[in-house]
Amino acid sequence: MTDELIVMREGAVGRLRLNRPRAIHALTLPMCEAMIAALLEWRTDPAVELVLLDHAEGRGFCAGGDVRAAAESGRGDGAAARAFFHTEYQLNHLLFTYAKPIVSVLDGIVMGGGVGIGLPARHRIATERTMFAMPETTIGLFPDVGAGWYLSRLPGRIGQYLALTGARLTGADCLTLGLATHYLQSDRVEEAKQQLLARPSAEAPAILERLSGQPDEPTILTFRDDIDRLFASDDFEEVLAVLTADGSDWARQQMAILATKSPQACKVSLELLAQGAAQTDFAGEMMVEYRVASRVCQRHDFLEGVRALLIDKDNAPRWDPATPDGVTGHLIDQIFAPLPDEEWSPAY
């Protein structure tokens, strides 16, 4: 057990509360292990009817995983980084396949690893404070924790756009895209929690529906046609060429954003979503993502991205390869190839 996660039973509800407010509840290995242990215990306990997943204090649900620790491991033998990803993905899969209903409260910042634990829930609450993003290409990583599954199933090419640019979504956007199932004003979230704790799990949908409000207009749809047209290709160079040829202000803004991203991470992301769209089993998705993570965590761009954005904070990463054409198809194939000795496996 860890004090970074509060595990408790309240009536028929099992509660998992993230408790690292200074790190916006970024996940650590002990937190993932503790959640898995609780979920496995509650899975066969008839007294537990519902799981409630939220955060204690602070300005966000979960800002991701502990990538600084992963990068430090990646500079050495990478064993600790691989152990973290293996366990985190087991948690993602366990949540995804969990038979009992789960309610996740996606209030405030929801990024990276927060997406991985929040989206598998049957009931997902967004608020006006929700800020959802998968910004991994900024640090030379890739949208993982099941993003190859989730993003590839969004309408049109929105998933590819989000994966490449790390664009942020509002709570209204999340509801519109189906990433959230309900939208509540943040001042009604505590009321929703108390009602869920007081009533059987069968009433959860009615409780959330009754407390739901009408969000503002979603912003993601403003450029929906542009996204589908300009991000239509799974070939990163072609995306860049189409954006350049378009010449609109919005296209130029996207070019400027993509110029800051790791070319390797962008190509990995497009390949992951292309493969993810064809996956029929979430365990298969996590196996592929673990193959990629176990290799990328020791490659230059992830180590350099963490240095530039999170350690030295000079915001000037030196990517290698520096240009998209330097990221060959052969390199991508190597990153996605099966692992000879340590393929990912579920927690049960």
First to last CA, the chain: 19
User: At which residue do the structure tokens 């966000």 appear?
Assistant: 60
Q: Annotated catalytic residue: which of 33, 107, 144, 271?
A: 144
DSSP 8-state class, residue 27: B
Q: Annotated catalytic residue: which of 136, 285, 301, 304?
A: 136
User: At which residue do the structure tokens 């991470």 appear?
Assistant: 265
228 labelled catalytic: no
Please list, in sequence order, all residues whose beta carbon lies within 8 angstroms of the beta carbon of residue 80, skipping any fewer than 6 positions away: 29, 69, 70, 72, 73
DSSP 8-state class, residue 178: T
User: At which residue do the structure tokens 């929703």 appear?
Assistant: 192
Let me know if 284 is exposed, middle or buried by CB neighbors in 10 A (0-12, 13-18, 19+): middle
CA angle 265, 269, 270 (to 5 degrees): 125
Please list, in sequence order, all residues whose beta carbon lies within 8 angstroms of the beta carbon of residue 211, skipping any fewer than 6 positions away: 182, 184, 188, 191, 192, 195
136 labelled catalytic: yes
Answer yes or no: are the C-beta atoms of 28 and 69 closer than 8 Å.
yes
Q: Annotated catalytic residue: which of 113, 116, 118, 140?
A: 113
Q: Annotated catalytic residue: which of 14, 58, 64, 65?
A: 65
Helix (H) or strand (E) holding 51: strand 50-55
203 labelled catalytic: no
246 labelled catalytic: no
DSSP 8-state class, residue 211: H
CA angle 294, 297, 301 (to 5 degrees): 140
- C-alpha 41/C-alpha 263 separation (Å) is 43
The runs of H, that is alpha helices, within 183-281 are 189-198, 204-211, 224-230, 236-246, 249-258, 263-278
Residue count of the chain, please give it.
348
Active site residues: 65, 113, 136, 144
